[in-house]
Amino acid sequence: MQTAEQTDHTTTNPVFGFTILGSGSNGNATVIHGPEGNILLDAGFSRKELERRMRQRNIEPSGIKALLLTHEHTDHVQGCRVFADHYNCPVYLTAGTENKLPCKNCVPAQRILIESGAVFQLCGLRIEAFSIPHDVEEAVAYTFHCGNKKLGYATDLGMTGMMVLNRLQACNALVLESNYEPSLLQASGRPLPLKRRIMSRHGHLSNAAALEAAEQLLHDAMSHIVFAHLSTECNDENKVYDGLCHLLQNCQRHHHICPQVAKQHEPLDTVWL
Ligand SMILES: [Zn+2]
Ligand SMILES: [Zn+2]
């Protein structure tokens, strides 16, 4: 089922966009809309919750053609097996992610292994997977390409080195992790080893690190930037949004780039590119 907005869009440009169903340390899932169907990127909510959030944004769950996973942490795979098997979808994932899925019950029936660096076509989109530094065996982030438009999606990374920044160059829309505020993380009741893990080069991106990376990635053809995967306990959504707006103003980009912060408990509106 296409929304009216989607139908209108096809008359001018190929359908290409994304709907963040929810993002944060308790669950992540995003629908990527391509000219030939929809893809679910990560499935960190139960099937029922994924369906509920999709319908909130006029996305028919049975229209999902495939799932893509970034890595095996529960906040990315919670509903993967149940959703994929129910809708008979293949799941694209790395061998490292497949090996480390939390339980046998989490392994979907149809799996297609990809390697970091893989380039493949799905739903009329060209998709590139690339490795990111995170505390798992083989985590990947993705870029999606349609015509001359590019979407970059990178969360769960301890740092943005040159390799990651190169992959995320020239995105028209960028979704980037902005996980924690160091002072809130330090003040939290989390055990010291966990704090160290989050702050390490294989943990998560701090707000300051996200802003620094974003500054390097802003360019004239970018229209949307979304900060995502905020920690529920150790971040402040308003502070993240203000920081992003401030960056865009400082860089004179506020007239043409729409800033947003992804939410844990509700989907954002669909962004069309
Ligand atoms: Zn995560
Ligand atoms: Zn993770």
pLDDT of residue 13: 66
Q: What pTM does this model have?
A: 0.94
Ligand approaching nearest to the C-alpha of 76:
1
Q: Is 249 exposed, middle or buried (0-12, 13-18, 19+ CB in 10 A)?
A: exposed
Mean pLDDT of all residues in 207-222: 97
Rounded to a whole number, what is the distance in angstroms from the first to the last CA of the chain? 19
Distance 134 CA to ligand 2 centre (A): 7
Ligand approaching nearest to the C-alpha of 133:
2
Distance 156 CA to ligand 2 centre (A): 5
Per residue in 189-212, pLDDT (tens digit) is: 999 999 999 999 899 999 999 999
Ligand approaching nearest to the C-alpha of 228:
1
pLDDT of residue 150: 98
Distance 231 CA to ligand 1 centre (A): 9
Distance 29 CA to ligand 2 centre (A): 13
Average pLDDT score, the chain = 93
Mean pLDDT of all residues in 64-88: 97
Residue 10, pLDDT > 80, answer no
Pairing of strands 91-94, 119-122: unpaired
How many domains would you assign to the chain? 1
Tokens of 118: 């893989």
Per residue in 11-62, pLDDT (tens digit) is: 456 799 999 999 999 999 999 999 999 999 999 999 999 999 999 999 999 9
CATH number of the domain within which 212 lies? 3.60.15.10
Residue 109, pLDDT > 80, answer yes
**At 5, is the pLDDT very low, low, confident or very high (cuts 50, 70, 90)?**
very low
**At 4, is the pLDDT very low, low, confident or very high (cuts 50, 70, 90)?**
very low
pLDDT of residue 12: 56
Mean pLDDT of all residues in 82-109: 94
Among all chains, which residue has been given the structure tokens 């798992």?
Answer: 136
Distance 255 CA to ligand 1 centre (A): 31
Which domain, by its residues, includes 179? 4-272
